[in-house]
């Protein structure tokens, strides 16, 4: 099982404008921790995060929508699926992908694929995780430290981690959202 989600984050933008561009509407407001899968939006400092959490919701937060939304400012996009041990983390700006990091670990520990001008901080984090992987026994270990890269780096950049932040109760309100019909 595990987590399956897609989320995007953009900073210093109006919530209603962003949700409108993504064709979402607010249908509820929560002032407590969230443990259930769903479609949510929340503010984390000056970032607005929109997340499709869970198999039934993740397909509503699309990579193409993140690219289009970036015409108004940078957008960080994350996809992760614990069952497939796969992730993608990408930064979009001006409607284009600026960089991306993807990983497919279904068959064991591998190296992520970097595209574009990946930030130095991301490369430094990967080197740290590679050292942890080596200490754990390398690619044959029972743990995959490299798979932790995307949520860990996203947390450094945005302050949001899909498997911690919603349930922390630190960033409320959390808005329940739904596609506009």
Per the structure, the count of domains in the chain is 1
- pLDDT tens digits along 81-119: 988 889 999 999 999 999 999 999 888 888 899 999 999
Tell me whether the omega of the peptide bond preceding residue 173 falls within 30 degrees of 0, making it cis: yes
Closest alpha carbon to 75 in 55, 53, 96: 96
Residue 14 burial class via C-beta count within 10 angstroms: exposed 0-12, middle 13-18, buried 19 and up: exposed
- pLDDT tens digits along 40-81: 999 999 999 999 999 999 999 999 999 999 999 999 999 999
- pLDDT tens digits along 10-39: 999 999 999 999 999 999 999 988 888 999
Give the strands of the sheet with 113-116, arranged side by side. 24-30, 174-179, 38-44, 47-53, 4-11, 75-81, 86-93, 96-104, 113-116
CA dihedral over 72, 157, 8, 105, signed as positive or negative: positive
Residue 180 CA to residue 95 CA, distance in Å, equals 23
- pLDDT tens digits along 120-157: 999 999 999 999 999 998 888 888 888 999 999 999 99
Higher pLDDT, 118 or 171: 118
Is the CB of residue 109 less than 8 Å from the CB of residue 146? yes
Domain of 110, in residue numbers: 4-179
């Amino acid at each position: 099982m595990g987590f399956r989600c897609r989320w995007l984050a953009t900073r210093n933008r109006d919530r209603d404008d962003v949700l409108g561009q993504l064709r979402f509407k607010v249908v509820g407001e929560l002032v407590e921790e969230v443990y259930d899968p769903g479609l949510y939006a929340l503010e984390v400092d000056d970032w607005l995060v929109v997340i499709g959490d869970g198999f039934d919701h993740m397909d509503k937060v699309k990579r193409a929508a993140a690219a289009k939304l970036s015409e108004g400012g940078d957008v960080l996009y994350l996809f992760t699926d614990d069952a497939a041990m796969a992730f993608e983390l990408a930064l979009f700006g001006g409607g284009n992908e600026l960089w991306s990091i993807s990983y497919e670990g279904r068959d064991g520990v591998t190296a992520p694929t970097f595209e574009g001008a990946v930030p130095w901080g991301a490369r430094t984090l990967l080197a740290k995780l590679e050292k942890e992987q080596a200490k754990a026994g390398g690619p044959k270990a029972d743990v995959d430290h490299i798979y932790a890269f995307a949520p860990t780096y996203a947390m450094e950049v945005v302050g949001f981690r899909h498997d911690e932040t919603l349930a922390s109760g630190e960033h409320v309100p959390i808005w329940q959202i739904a596609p506009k019909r």
